[in-house]
Structure 1
């Protein structure tokens, strides 16, 4: 399930013609890190990893729309942040990746 969500996100990025190449590459790098970390988490916490991937997909989908709704981007980002609560000690790289991703979305100026 995580792989299929990440594939869908990759397609969204490829089709997001309103995003310049530099931002797209930055987002792809952030997503790649998150993908690696969610796969590690899935070994011990599958449902939580799928939730993180799901919120990542929703947030990305909202952020790359032709006319993104700032409220929906904010709400989905909040869900993404909530999905990693409790993993600060056991998976700090995962939490860091989610923080970086949410910061990226916040800085898009939506």
Structure 2
């Protein structure tokens, strides 16, 4: 069964990107999964005509292990070299895909 969701919804100049996983059969590191999660989110923002760095106003990060915070943060920072969006980070018991370590959702205002 596939998920019932839309990768992103635009209403006026507001954009909500659904949570993106970054799982890979070859890279199970938190940095790799964070990078892929944000690359997937970037695709949603680009489809709406903008970028994460230009438009993201709030991101929520779901981690399955608090010990992964530093690795996630290191990869996350590369996507927002200046003026990062507001962010919440929540530790959860599990994500919907086995071996997923991180899921990231972002909202933004399209300039």
> TM-score scaled to structure 1, two decimals?
0.30
More strand by share: 2
More helix by share: 1
TM superposition score normalised by structure 2: 0.30
